[in-house]
Structure 1
Amino acid sequence: MNMILHLSKPATLTAFHHQCKYKNSFKLPQIKASSFSAAPGVDLNTLQSAVAKKDSNAVKEALDQLSEEGWAKKWSSQPYVSRRRLTLEFIVNQTSLRELTSLGIKNAENLAIPSVRNDAAFLFTVVGTTGFLGVLAGQLPGDWGFFVPYLIGSISLIVLAVGSISPGLLQAAIQGFSSFFPDYQERVARHEAGHFLIAYLLGLPILGYSLDIGKENVNLIDERLEKLIYSGQLDAKELDRLAVVAMAGLAAEGLQYDKVIGQSADLFTLQRFINRSKPQLSKDQQQNLTRWAVLFAGSLIKNNKAIHEALMEAMTKKASVVECIEAIENAA
């Protein structure tokens, strides 16, 4: 699951489209009949309208108002995110890994290593299947026993050639194939719920999400941040916030699984944010930021485990954004 948080085009939003080796697309899910009920006396119509209009300022205002009324208690409940400044390379490389392991992140030292599980499984399946069919086709009579195995065998060669020259062309097939893994849907829900929950806790409005194959994403919006990103003027404070949200999916997976599948695109997106920040960070500082962001996001997810699980359940049922927010607040 390579997750990409990636920016939408101009002037309305900063959209985090998270892709777990998935296609780069976004579709706001249709509002379905609610399976969650609002608390008595709580009017969510204003919030629902703001989300439907994709108005980030209106969403923030509605949630701020609900927070003042005592309902949206988790909204922006973690507004202050501050990175620790570690200067010694030994501390950066050793302490952070120990802390990640202590938090419960499995195989912390391998978090930044891209997973090839889905790619390898797809290629092995193609080669194995075509090889088996080629052997069977060799039993055909006459010239068919020669040409058919040859044609079948060429399929593997073509797939391997395309994978070597232009691997992106195989992503649709690999994405579809990866859905056969028994942990696929749970991984996707856990990963996307991590992004959703952390963004909500940090006060970033959410306008949509999807768990559909090839369209997995969470769409986060903040017009002020968007301007800073496109101008290349992200300061350390805002970079820290975006880093924590970017690493939230990776952290959510790392707390549950021995191997994280959806980290590559998230790391790529974090690098894009780093490249648009000032002052520029050294390689050691970038590594420290990445590990710190995983640690911070993982701590929030672990401390809000019941909420994260409730949000996962809601998202799996294709609840609307407002219903997902209700799931967060009701679980809190």
Structure 2
Amino acid sequence: MAIVAGLVAPAAKPLGLSGARRRQHRGRWRVAAAAAAEVDLKALGSAIDKKDSQEARQALDELKELGWAKRWSSQPYMSRRTTSLRELTNLGIKNAENLAIPSVRNDAAFLFTVVGTTGFLAVLAGQLPGDWGFFVPYLTGSISLVVLAIGSISPGLLQVAIGSFSAVFPDYQERIARHEAAHFLVAYLTGLPILGYSLDIGKEHVNLVDDQLQKLLYSGQLDQKEVDRLAVISMAGLAAEGLEYDKVVGQSADLFTLQRFLNRTKPPLGKAQQQNLTRWAVLIAASLLKNNKAAHDALVSAMSQKATVLGCIEAIENAS
């Protein structure tokens, strides 16, 4: 990792050069130095392409030492504390008391559309002559019953259809981008590199790969510090939606991920401790997003345009 710098030396100073002229020359030197200095991101790009978290972390650490990756791992560890709903509300989280309640907006809209459409078609089909006027409405109406049965027995099978249908909401794509960008940014700020992401409907995620962390997860030996950091990252998407919208839609997957982490902690946490940890994690994540709003907005824009992971990191670091 290196900085390629080529300084343009000023011309020799003649005798009797005024103070204003000297300041002008010094200013030109600084401008030339800043313009010529470029950071080599090839090592970081290579590590990301190889999905090598250790190399990516090392490359980012070196870039931070060189003064470029200033936001990387910039958030110091903060131990958890008792957190109230009032604190979340005061921070700007809308309807904080309902954050953990899974949203049924997309499910309800999908169900109402299926039932309404099939019912309407069944009524129209009833006007067909002869036996067609009996069998077609019957078959059309049974579609709703089949959908309800699948939703009751194996709701996961409907998630792709529900996710695709959710795209009809004007705010859905923006929600996805803002949600996933929050996970990306908070992970970056707390020192965990993101090596991939997707905003495709039904496949929304950020790829958090860390070999050491995976070993701790599989062994069930996550300590409090790691649990706290993972909790903040997990709740970042929920926090981003809570700051922007009256109702959070994408919290179910985040809460499931957090619960998976909590199930592997030692010593295990009680229900009251888990609830408090969730609130505290939302508070910290929301604080980070508000304090780094320019970086979050820049990252949302970059991810919406399907920028590479390296391009997303550049967007974070170049945000004013």
TM-score under structure 2 length normalisation: 0.87
Separation (CA, whole Å) in 2 of partners of 1:135 and 1:256: 42
1:274 aligned to which of 256, 262, 267: 262
Return the structure number with greater helix share.
Answer: 2
Determine helix, strand or coil for the equivalent of 1:173: helix
Q: CA-to-partner distance for each residue in 1:171-190, whole Å, 9 max, x for gaps?
A: 11111111111111000000
Instruction: Read off the aligned partner of 2:189 and give its amino acid letter.
Output: L
Check whether the contact 2:232–2:282 (CA below 8 A) recurs between aligned residues: yes
Measured after TM superposition, the shift of residue 280 of structure 1 is 1.1
2:104 pairs with 1:113: no
Q: Equivalent residues in 2 for 1:152-301 (5 A)?
A: 152-301=140-289
Check whether the contact 1:246–1:266 (CA below 8 A) recurs between aligned residues: yes
The higher relative CO (CA closer than 8 Å, separation ≥ 6) is in 1
Partner of 2:72: 75
Check whether the contact 1:79–1:203 (CA below 8 A) recurs between aligned residues: no
2:41 pairs with 1:53: no
Separation (CA, whole Å) in 1 of partners of 2:151 and 2:197: 30
Partner of 1:7: none
2:41 pairs with 1:44: yes
Separation (CA, whole Å) in 2 of partners of 1:183 and 1:81: 33
Determine helix, strand or coil for the equivalent of 1:243: helix
Separation (CA, whole Å) in 2 of partners of 1:168 and 1:215: 13
Determine helix, strand or coil for the equivalent of 2:76: coil
Check whether the contact 1:114–1:261 (CA below 8 A) recurs between aligned residues: yes
What is the root-mean-square deviation of aligned Cα atoms in Å?
Answer: 1.2
Partner of 1:14: none
Separation (CA, whole Å) in 2 of partners of 1:232 and 1:217: 23
Between 298-307 and 39-48, report the one with greater CA deviation.
Answer: 39-48
Determine helix, strand or coil for the equivalent of 1:219: strand
Determine helix, strand or coil for the equivalent of 1:179: helix
Instruction: Read off the aligned partner of 2:62 and give its amino acid letter.
Output: Q
Separation (CA, whole Å) in 2 of partners of 1:331 and 1:170: 39
Measured after TM superposition, the shift of residue 82 of structure 1 is 1.4
Measured after TM superposition, the shift of residue 279 of structure 1 is 1.2
Instruction: Read off the aligned partner of 1:61 and give its amino acid letter.
Output: Q
Instruction: Read off the aligned partner of 1:242 and give its amino acid letter.
Output: L
Check whether the contact 2:163–2:202 (CA below 8 A) recurs between aligned residues: yes
Check whether the contact 1:210–1:216 (CA below 8 A) recurs between aligned residues: yes
Check whether the contact 1:50–1:59 (CA below 8 A) recurs between aligned residues: yes
TM-score under structure 1 length normalisation: 0.84
Measured after TM superposition, the shift of residue 121 of structure 1 is 0.4
Separation (CA, whole Å) in 1 of partners of 2:317 and 2:37: 13
Check whether the contact 1:229–1:273 (CA below 8 A) recurs between aligned residues: yes
1:66 aligned to which of 57, 60, 63: 63
Measured after TM superposition, the shift of residue 79 of structure 1 is 3.4
Measured after TM superposition, the shift of residue 255 of structure 1 is 0.3
2:312 aligned to which of 295, 299, 324: 324
Change (3 A) 1:147 1:102: same
Q: Unaligned 5+ residue runs, structure 2?
A: 1-34
Between 272-281 and 289-298, report the one with greater CA deviation.
Answer: 272-281
Check whether the contact 1:134–1:152 (CA below 8 A) recurs between aligned residues: yes
Partner of 2:134: 146
Separation (CA, whole Å) in 1 of partners of 2:311 and 2:85: 36
Check whether the contact 2:44–2:60 (CA below 8 A) recurs between aligned residues: yes
Check whether the contact 2:159–2:202 (CA below 8 A) recurs between aligned residues: no
Measured after TM superposition, the shift of residue 40 of structure 1 is 4.4
